[in-house]
Amino acid sequence: MIHTISWDPTSGTLRHNDALQLPHNYVDMPAELVLWIDLDNPTPEEESRILDTFLHVHPLTLEDITKPRRDPEEGPHLPKVEEFADYLFVIVNPLPNEMTSGKPLPPGFRFDKRSRPQLSAILTHRLLITHHYAPLPCIIEGQMHLERHVDNLRRGPDYLFHLILDGIVDDYAPVVEQVGEQLDLIERHMFHRPTPRLLERLLRIKRRVSYMRKTLILEREVLARLMRGEFALVEDREIVYYRNVYDHLVRYTELIESGREMVSDLMQSHLSVTSNRLNEVMKVLTMISVMGLLCSVIAGIYGMNFKHMPELEWPNGYYFALGLMGTAVSVSLTVFKWKKWF
């Protein structure tokens, strides 16, 4: 679907129209018009209309944009920014909607390549094109922001794109907080009862943290280039906003890095606690085996088939053997306690 938002400088209002009759070519647009075209899960025909007929983009750009549809098994393209002669091309990977909804993840949800969304953006001096195959909250938030602040679109596509990036980065806040709470809860339960279920939860959190860490590091490089004034399509007055988004991204990257280290520490602690519990069990079983061995030795001695054994004809020989076994067990327990083995 093609959704367009344009700024009308004469009336000072926004115009929404999914069926807006766009000019045949980008160069035919009025000089004062600022336009945002959002391609939400578009068909190949809609992609061709906007990315070929309206604004002809480089074939490599079109290949990167349509990668999730062409190669779903390979997943989306990694974040990057490229400057072409007449436009700026940016790819970012927002968090999946399952992670930003605030609800527990679905049982069958997996952090694989197919679950990662891709947002592609093309910026010119008067035009912003966003392309995505999955619904993204950052796009909806950007449209709602323009409804509240109708004159912000006239500041240009670079300011509008900063709003979208800010929404993508802010989505990390509740997810990072949720990961921290889950790790604290696991840490409290681990030393009381380290179960295989806790280790399974840690592995799931580790996959989630690793995915976010990789995405944040790559997006940090993209934002670092955007805020340095490296591209002419990002005006100097908007760089401060990109720097603000970059600061938030760096903070979440550090928090995710701390969460990653905590996951590794908790996994090592889980293995250590489990190993200690196993050692305690083995120690108890070893002490029982030693006491049983002493009793078996005594029973084996009096179970031999020699004809001349003094105790065999003794009326109290049975009780003597039991007493000897009891004495051996008592001496063993005394030695174990003296060694402070229990």
Name, in order, each residue with C-beta under 8 angstroms of 17's C-beta and a sequence gap of 6 or more. Answer: 4
Final residue of a domain: which of 109, 132, 150?
A: 150
- Domain annotation covers residue 178: no
| pLDDT of 110 | 62
Instruction: For residue 107, give the CATH number of its domain.
Output: 3.30.460.20
- Domain annotation covers residue 155: no
Tell me which residue range forms the domain holding 116: 1-150
- Domain annotation covers residue 301: yes
- Domain annotation covers residue 261: no
- Domain annotation covers residue 331: yes
Do 288 and 145 fall within a single domain?
no
| pLDDT of 88 | 92
Instruction: For residue 294, give the CATH number of its domain.
Output: 1.20.58.340
| pLDDT of 337 | 83
| pLDDT of 89 | 93
- Domain annotation covers residue 268: no
Q: Which residue positions in the chain have pLDDT lower than 70?
A: 8-14, 17-21, 23, 98-114
| pLDDT of 10 | 63
Q: Are strands 119-123 and 127-132 parallel, antiparallel or unpaired?
A: antiparallel
Final residue of a domain: which of 150, 166, 197?
A: 150
What is the spatial distance between Cα 334 and Cα 317, in angstroms, rounded to a whole number? 25
What is the spatial distance between Cα 150 and Cα 148, in angstroms, rounded to a whole number? 6
| pLDDT of 131 | 92
- Domain annotation covers residue 305: yes
Per-residue pLDDT tens digits for 257-269: 888 888 888 878 7
Q: How many domains is the chain partitioned into structurally?
A: 2
| pLDDT of 14 | 66
| pLDDT of 178 | 83
Name, in order, each residue with C-beta under 8 angstroms of 153's C-beta and a sequence gap of 6 or more. Answer: 5, 6, 7, 14, 34, 36, 146, 160
- Domain annotation covers residue 221: no
Final residue of a domain: which of 150, 171, 188?
A: 150
| pLDDT of 121 | 92
